[in-house]
Structure 1
Amino acid sequence: MFSWMAWTWPTALIFIGIFTAIGILIAIEIRTPGGDERKGVLGLTTTRGDRLFIALLGTSYIFLAWLGLVGQPVWAPLGLSIFWGGFCFWKV
């Protein structure tokens, strides 16, 4: 049924993580509406959803650049991506 895509456990965990993050943001938005707007170091006024999008987009660029320039293994870009995500939610 799902043979059109290579569904491996790492792929499933990525999608589960993204949908979990979106679910957490929905729960936070229901509890405290308004999006928690703030102006960060990039000069942008962002909400929680904007910061999640920037973090996910940056993470994909980190992994693609690492795979293009260095190759395997991908533990180092995982650490960089976790740092980038924390930075996005803390300062952006």
Structure 2
Amino acid sequence: MHAVVGIWSADESRRAEQEQALRAAVVPETAARPGFVSGYWMRDAQTGKMHTVAVFDTEPHARAFKDHIAQATQAAARVGVTVDVLAMVEVSAHA
């Protein structure tokens, strides 16, 4: 398996807008991607950072998703979210 890991800066004053976009679009669209296994969207209120992990069954599926996310950063910016780190990694173990 492979995962796409992101760290994002979020404008806390737009949190309601971000949560609505997350639930209405980001999560269902990610879950519908080919090879999707699991996903986690997390927020650290102390730092204003959001952390994401989306796991896919194969490297090509993860790479396609990473490329899609890299192209969608303008949409995220419209709700006050900017990417700090976006990486594709191999999953070494899971429980």
Q: TM-score, normalised by structure 1?
A: 0.34
Larger RCO, structures 1/2 (Cα 8 Å, 6+ apart)? 2
Could you say which structure has the higher strand fraction? Answer: 2
Q: Highest CA radius of gyration, 1 or 2? A: 1
